[in-house]
Amino acid sequence: MSNPALSFPPHAFSGRRAVPVPRVTDAVARAAAGDRAAFETLYREHAGRVYALCLRLAGDTTRAEEYTQDVFVRAWQRLASFRGDAAFSSWLHRLAVNVVLQDRRAERRRLRRVEPTDDLGSAPAPRDRIAARLDLETAIAALPDAARQVFVLYDIEGYGHAEIGRLLGIAEGTSKAHLHRARRLLREALER
Amino acid sequence: MLRISLITVSYAVLVGLAPPAAGQQRVERRLTVGERTPIRVHNLTGSTTVRGWAHDSVVLTGTLPAGATLYFGGSAGGVKGGVELADPADTMPAHLELRVPRGARVWIKSASGDITVEGVSGGLDVYTVSGRVSVRGAAAELTAESMDGAVTVEAGRWARVKTASGAIAVTGGEDVGVATVTGAVTYAADAFRRARLESVSGDLTFRGAVPRGSRLELESHGGQVTVEVPAALSAEIAITTFQGEVHNAFGSQSLRPLPDQRGRALEFTAGTGGADLIVRTFKGDVRLLRASAKTTR
Amino acid sequence: MSDCERIGVLLDDYLSGTLRAGDRTEVERHLEACPTCAREAETLRRLLADARALPRSIAPPRDLWRGIDARLEEERPARSGRRFIRVRPRLLAAAAVVLVAVTAAVAVQLARPPAQAPLAGGPAVTAPRYAAVAADYAAAVRELEASFVQRYDRLPPETRAVVSRNLAVIDTAIAEARAALAAAGPNPDLETLLWASYRAKLDLLGRATKL
Ligand SMILES: [Zn+2]
């Protein structure tokens, strides 16, 4: 564990900007063989990235924690199928998107209500220097589900509309419409 | 609510002006600062009163118990002030009164002392254990916490209030979150965007209007939840309770049992919808009441 | 459709760099001539730049590993390997502290999550997630209780009384919600209430520890 060899280039994660880095690291191989300590190393390395993605897709901190855990449990179950033809980080990123979106779709069917509920304190208080960034995060979290997911995937994560359409089970044009709405709502929210 | 805070304020003013009792010391300090200078005040016992004014300066006056020392200093980059007691077990109260620039961001920490703030619009973070908190004149961002003391605030844009057993009364605000364990909560507003009240056993009461596009959530394990709104309510209403009773003055819909012993739910649209009113309890009763014309603003 | 409306529609693709050349020229010409749309485009451009500049990594507010670890026990990877059973002395010591009788009872219940059938029509992920989240909260509570016990003697008697009284109320609520969940099976509303009580407990313990 002294040399986890997990140093992917920072852009390895994002779709449009993605540069797949094919290699199976030592930690990945050991985790796939059932080594939990190695898997914990992977968790420590990637938790922040996965959590940020879940948080923005779900718009809710409590949910984001649950999803992050689901993602790593799912990763553990599927590690054997990870072939190393993409960077582990990209694979995990894709898995996270799937976990969150699948559950959000199921939940929408179940709950009929699609607006995000965030619990008390989960929307961060804007503060001084980082106020602008947090305002943007808060505004993103407050977007309607579909608009938020498309915005996060397209404008933050760099996915294309065709791919987003597939992930969300919507037409490409619908994805564009959601993006347009998201950008408009964000502009309005931030201009206040 | 108003009366209580006025009494608190006038009490603090009187104490501030009274000649010092034997062994007490009067203090007064001044500093020129910026419009938005962050100000931190530490006064564990006794009262702290802060008022915003239209000057770029901080003026601190007060009385300290014998042996206590005042520290106070800083610049436009930040001001720090507070009372150090001679003996940590000393509970003789110190009374501090500060004038601060209106746009300042003020942070106050106390243990048993009351905290009163008026007319600070920048930002406010107040923490006390057993003291009362009273805030008038909507700070844009407000965090107020007390374990046991009552918290009464006028919310600005964003407010978060927490107690363990202290009662909470909040008015106004756009984005408001309130949480308590056993304290009673009342929230009165008619122009919020998002509000969430939660308790374990404390009663939750909302009074006011539910604006179009807003979301109001009340959640309690065992507390009684009361929502008193005008007859013209227009919202999607979703009430779920496991063991509580529901009284609904808006229509004849009644609770329907959820499958698999999952409790009971009452969901309907009042008026044309357009806002979300969500109530969830384990065993607390839920009352959805029509405000009489008089109590409606 | 007025010119400005048409440009407004094209602006998204224009800023995404996915507009056809002909349309792009049209947008650019319009933006030079129309300050309103130019301002709009500028605001949007800034929004998109801000969005791209958001941090890619945000540390979770609490350590989620324990909850994950607890689930790995039940959910083995396809290629089964060694089993790692780790004893966590810190948690064991903490668990030994019986702060409030009910807490201990709850902890015991949490060690054996109730058997649950997936919610009909709902995602099967609910049950394992419920167990994992419950385990995670329970572990966090136990840790905080341990630090709280160390501080307990230094708190003023009134504060001790307030904290203990409120903890007892929360513990009762947790026990009630858990019992109901055990009897009724997965239930999002009940789970929401249970997590809220756990959060109330964590919050109260956290604040009491910092006093
Ligand atoms: Zn134009």
Supply the DSSP string of A63-93, one letter for each residue: HHHHHHHHHHHHHHHHGGG--SSS-HHHHHH
Regarding whether C98 and C44 lie in a shared domain, the answer is: no
Regarding whether C191 and C126 lie in a shared domain, the answer is: yes
Distance C139 CA to ligand 1 centre (A): 58
Put simply, the answer to whether C184 touches B260 (Cβ < 8 Å) is: yes
The better pLDDT of the pair C171, C70 is held by: C171
Structural domain of residue B241, as residue ranges? Answer: 150-297
CA dihedral B138, B139, B140, B145 (to 10 degrees): -110
B221 touches chain C (CB under 8 A): yes
> Between A113, A120, A126, which is nearest B177 by CB?
A120
> Between C47, C48, C57, which is nearest A48 by CB?
C57
B54 touches chain C (CB under 8 A): no
Structural domain of residue C31, as residue ranges? Answer: 3-53
Find, among B71, B66, B60, B1, the residue nearest to B31 by Cα: B60
Q: How far is A51 from chain C (nearest CA, A)?
A: 6
Q: For the residues B33-44, what does the mean pLDDT come to?
A: 86
Regarding whether C93 and C34 lie in a shared domain, the answer is: no
Judge whether C95 lies within some domain: yes
Regarding whether A159 and A106 lie in a shared domain, the answer is: no
Name, in order, each residue with C-beta under 8 angstroms of B86's C-beta and a sequence gap of 6 or more: B65, B66, B67, B68, B69
Q: Check if the beta carbon of residue C138 is closer than 8 Å to that of residue C106.
A: yes
Helix, strand, coil fractions of chain A, as percent rounded to 5: 70, 0, 30
Regarding whether C129 and C25 lie in a shared domain, the answer is: no
Q: For the residues B32-54, what does the mean pLDDT come to?
A: 89
What ipTM goes with this model? 0.85
Regarding whether C104 and C17 lie in a shared domain, the answer is: no
CATH of the domain at A140: 1.10.10.10
In order of A34, B52, B67, B215, B227, the CA distances from B158 in angstroms are: 47, 18, 40, 14, 21
Residue B199 has pLDDT above 90, yes or no: yes
**In the prediction, which pLDDT does B183 show?**
97
C72 touches chain A (CB under 8 A): yes
CA distance B127 to A41: 38
> Between A52, A77, A111, which is nearest C75 by CB?
A77
Ranking A87-96, B269-278, C67-76 by mean pLDDT, the lowest is C67-76
Regarding whether C158 and C112 lie in a shared domain, the answer is: yes
Instruction: Please give the tally of structural domains in chain B.
Output: 1
Q: For the residues C28-43, what does the mean pLDDT come to?
A: 90
Regarding whether A113 and A26 lie in a shared domain, the answer is: yes
Put simply, the answer to whether A120 touches B143 (Cβ < 8 Å) is: no
Closest chain A residue to C56, measured at CA = A49
Instruction: Please give the tally of structural domains in chain C.
Output: 2
CA distance C211 to C208: 5
Ranking A5-19, B199-213, B271-285 by mean pLDDT, the lowest is A5-19
Residue B31 has pLDDT above 70, yes or no: yes
Regarding whether A110 and A25 lie in a shared domain, the answer is: yes
Put simply, the answer to whether B282 touches C193 (Cβ < 8 Å) is: yes
The better pLDDT of the pair A125, C140 is held by: C140
**In the prediction, which pLDDT does B22 show?**
60
CA distance C46 to A16: 20
**In the prediction, which pLDDT does A152 show?**
96
Ranking A57-61, B257-261, C3-7, C159-163 by mean pLDDT, the lowest is B257-261
A16 DSSP assignment: T
Instruction: Please give the tally of structural domains in chain A.
Output: 2
> Between C68, C75, C77, which is nearest A43 by CB?
C68
Judge whether A153 lies within some domain: yes
Regarding whether C49 and C96 lie in a shared domain, the answer is: no
Q: List own/partner pairs for B143-152 with CB under 8 A and 24 or more apart.
A: B143/A125, B145/C207, B147/C159, B147/C162, B147/C163, B147/C207, B147/C208, B147/C211, B148/C158, B148/C159, B148/C162, B149/B114, B150/B4, B150/B183, B152/B1, B152/B4, B152/B5
**In the prediction, which pLDDT does B5 show?**
41
Measured between beta carbons, which residues in chain C are less than 8 angstroms from residue A133? 50, 53-55
Average pLDDT, chain B: 86
Which tens digits make up the pLDDT trace of A34-76? Answer: 888 889 999 999 999 999 999 999 888 878 888 999 999 999 9
Judge whether A174 lies within some domain: yes
Read off the pLDDT band of B90 (50, 70, 90). Answer: low
The better pLDDT of the pair B185, C126 is held by: B185
Supply the DSSP string of chain B, one letter for each residue: -HHHHHHHHHHHHHHHHSPPPTT-EEEEEEEE--TT-EEEEE--SS-EEEEEESSSEEEEEEEE-TT-EEEEEEETTEEEEEEE-SSTT-----EEEEEEETT-EEEEE-SS--EEEES--SEEEEEESSS-EEEEEEEEEEEEEESSS-EEEEEEEEEEEEESS--EEEEE-SEEEEEESS--EEEEESS-SEEEEEESSS-EEEEE---TT-EEEEEESSS-EEEEE-TT--EEEEEEESS--EEE-SSS---EEPTTT--EEEEEEETT--SEEEEEESS--EEEEEPPTTT--
Ranking A155-169, B6-20, C48-62, C196-210 by mean pLDDT, the lowest is B6-20
Structural domain of residue A182, as residue ranges? Answer: 122-192
Top residue of B129, B146, B266 to mutate, by most chain C CBs within 10 Å, is B129
> Between A51, A154, A179, which is nearest C58 by CB?
A51
**Most confident listed range (B35-39, B187-191, B288-292, C135-139):** B187-191
CA distance A36 to C76: 11
Domain boundary among A117, A136, A163: A117
Ranking A77-81, A93-97, B113-117, C110-114 by mean pLDDT, the lowest is C110-114
Regarding whether C47 and C97 lie in a shared domain, the answer is: no
Average pLDDT, chain C: 71
Chains linked to A by 3 or more Cβ pairs within 8 Å: B, C
Residue A2 has pLDDT above 50, yes or no: no
Distance B235 CA to ligand 1 centre (A): 37
Q: Check if the beta carbon of residue B294 is closer than 8 Å to that of residue B257.
A: no
Regarding whether A40 and A111 lie in a shared domain, the answer is: yes
Only one residue has tokens 């007064």, namely B28
CATH of the domain at A107: 1.10.1740.10
**In the prediction, which pLDDT does C94 show?**
31
Top residue of C158, C160, C166 to mutate, by most chain B CBs within 10 Å, is C166
Residues A38-51: b if buried by 16+ CB within 10 A, e if exposed: bbbbbbebbbbbbb
Regarding whether A138 and A65 lie in a shared domain, the answer is: no
Instruction: Tally C-beta pairs within 8 A across A and C.
Output: 145
